[in-house]
Protein backbone atom coordinates (compact mmCIF):
# COMPACT_ATOMS: atom_id res chain seq x y z
CA UNK A 1 0.00 0.00 0.00
CA UNK A 2 2.84 2.36 0.85
CA UNK A 3 4.55 1.77 -2.49
CA UNK A 4 1.36 2.47 -4.43
CA UNK A 5 0.96 5.82 -2.63
CA UNK A 6 4.56 6.79 -3.38
CA UNK A 7 4.12 5.77 -7.00
CA UNK A 8 1.03 7.97 -7.30
CA UNK A 9 2.89 10.94 -5.75
CA UNK A 10 5.82 10.52 -8.15
CA UNK A 11 3.44 10.19 -11.11
CA UNK A 12 1.66 13.37 -10.06
CA UNK A 13 4.99 15.24 -9.69
CA UNK A 14 6.09 14.15 -13.15
CA UNK A 15 2.74 15.22 -14.61
CA UNK A 16 3.00 18.68 -13.00
CA UNK A 17 6.57 19.06 -14.29
CA UNK A 18 5.48 18.13 -17.83
CA UNK A 19 2.62 20.64 -17.71
CA UNK A 20 4.97 23.42 -16.59
CA UNK A 21 7.50 22.57 -19.33
CA UNK A 22 4.76 22.51 -21.99
CA UNK A 23 3.34 25.83 -20.78
CA UNK A 24 6.77 27.46 -21.04
CA UNK A 25 7.36 26.03 -24.53
CA UNK A 26 3.91 27.23 -25.62
CA UNK A 27 4.41 30.82 -24.42
CA UNK A 28 8.08 31.56 -25.17
CA UNK A 29 8.78 35.28 -25.60
CA UNK A 30 9.04 36.57 -29.18
CA UNK A 31 11.79 38.98 -30.30
CA UNK A 32 11.16 42.69 -29.81
CA UNK A 33 10.90 44.93 -32.89
CA UNK A 34 14.37 46.45 -32.45
CA UNK A 35 16.06 43.08 -32.02
CA UNK A 36 14.16 41.65 -35.01
CA UNK A 37 15.39 44.54 -37.17
CA UNK A 38 18.96 43.98 -35.94
CA UNK A 39 18.79 40.25 -36.72
CA UNK A 40 17.37 41.02 -40.20
CA UNK A 41 20.27 43.39 -40.86
CA UNK A 42 22.73 40.79 -39.59
CA UNK A 43 21.18 38.18 -41.88
CA UNK A 44 21.73 40.47 -44.86
CA UNK A 45 25.30 41.36 -43.90
CA UNK A 46 26.34 37.79 -42.98
CA UNK A 47 23.85 35.44 -44.67
CA UNK A 48 23.99 31.72 -43.87
CA UNK A 49 25.57 29.65 -46.65
CA UNK A 50 22.46 27.48 -46.94
CA UNK A 51 20.51 30.49 -48.31
CA UNK A 52 22.78 30.80 -51.34
CA UNK A 53 22.89 34.61 -51.38
CA UNK A 54 25.81 36.98 -51.13
CA UNK A 55 26.35 39.50 -48.37
CA UNK A 56 24.81 42.91 -48.94
CA UNK A 57 26.87 46.05 -48.42
CA UNK A 58 24.14 48.62 -47.88
CA UNK A 59 24.21 51.94 -46.08
CA UNK A 60 21.90 51.13 -43.17
CA UNK A 61 20.90 54.79 -42.81
CA UNK A 62 19.06 54.36 -46.12
CA UNK A 63 17.01 51.40 -44.88
CA UNK A 64 13.94 51.55 -42.69
CA UNK A 65 11.71 48.77 -41.38
CA UNK A 66 8.53 48.73 -43.43
CA UNK A 67 6.44 45.84 -42.11
CA UNK A 68 6.57 43.17 -39.41
CA UNK A 69 4.43 40.06 -39.32
CA UNK A 70 4.28 37.06 -37.02
CA UNK A 71 3.05 33.87 -38.66
CA UNK A 72 2.33 30.39 -37.32
CA UNK A 73 4.63 27.63 -38.54
CA UNK A 74 2.98 24.74 -40.31
CA UNK A 75 3.11 21.17 -39.09
CA UNK A 76 1.48 19.20 -36.31
CA UNK A 77 4.20 19.63 -33.66
CA UNK A 78 4.61 23.34 -34.50
CA UNK A 79 0.87 23.92 -34.13
CA UNK A 80 0.73 22.12 -30.76
CA UNK A 81 3.70 24.05 -29.36
CA UNK A 82 2.60 27.40 -30.86
CA UNK A 83 5.78 27.94 -32.93
CA UNK A 84 6.03 31.24 -34.83
CA UNK A 85 8.01 32.84 -37.64
CA UNK A 86 8.78 36.53 -37.93
CA UNK A 87 8.93 38.37 -41.26
CA UNK A 88 10.64 41.76 -41.43
CA UNK A 89 10.33 43.84 -44.60
CA UNK A 90 13.02 46.48 -45.03
CA UNK A 91 12.65 49.25 -47.61
CA UNK A 92 15.56 51.15 -49.17
CA UNK A 93 15.49 54.74 -50.43
CA UNK A 94 15.53 53.54 -54.05
CA UNK A 95 12.32 51.53 -53.47
CA UNK A 96 13.70 47.99 -53.11
CA UNK A 97 11.96 45.84 -50.53
CA UNK A 98 13.87 43.03 -48.82
CA UNK A 99 11.95 40.56 -46.68
CA UNK A 100 13.79 38.48 -44.11
CA UNK A 101 11.94 35.52 -42.61
CA UNK A 102 13.36 34.31 -39.29
CA UNK A 103 12.64 32.23 -36.24
CA UNK A 104 10.56 34.45 -33.94
CA UNK A 105 12.35 33.32 -30.78
CA UNK A 106 16.08 33.34 -31.56
CA UNK A 107 16.40 35.36 -34.79
CA UNK A 108 17.76 32.48 -36.89
CA UNK A 109 17.54 33.50 -40.54
CA UNK A 110 15.29 31.17 -42.56
CA UNK A 111 14.83 32.94 -45.90
CA UNK A 112 15.48 36.22 -47.69
CA UNK A 113 13.17 37.36 -50.48
CA UNK A 114 13.34 40.41 -52.66
CA UNK A 115 15.91 41.67 -55.18
CA UNK A 116 18.71 39.60 -53.62
CA UNK A 117 17.54 36.09 -54.43
Res 15: pLDDT:
92
Q: Could you name the CATH architecture of 31-113?
A: Roll (3.10)
| DSSP string over 10-43 | HHHHHHHHHHHHHHHHHTPPPPPHHHHHHHHHHH
Residues of the chain whose pLDDT is less than 70? Answer: 1-2, 115-117
pLDDT (tens digit, 9 = 90+) per residue, 64-90? 888 888 888 888 887 877 888 999 998
d(C-alpha 50, C-alpha 73), whole Å: 20
Res 2: pLDDT:
56
Domain boundaries, the chain: 1-29, 31-113
Q: Are 73 and 86 in contact (CB under 8 A)?
A: no
Rg (CA), the chain: 21
Amino acid sequence: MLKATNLKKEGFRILVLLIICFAYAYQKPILATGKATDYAALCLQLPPKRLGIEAVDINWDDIKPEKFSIDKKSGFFNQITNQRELSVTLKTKNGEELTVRMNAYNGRCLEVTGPLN
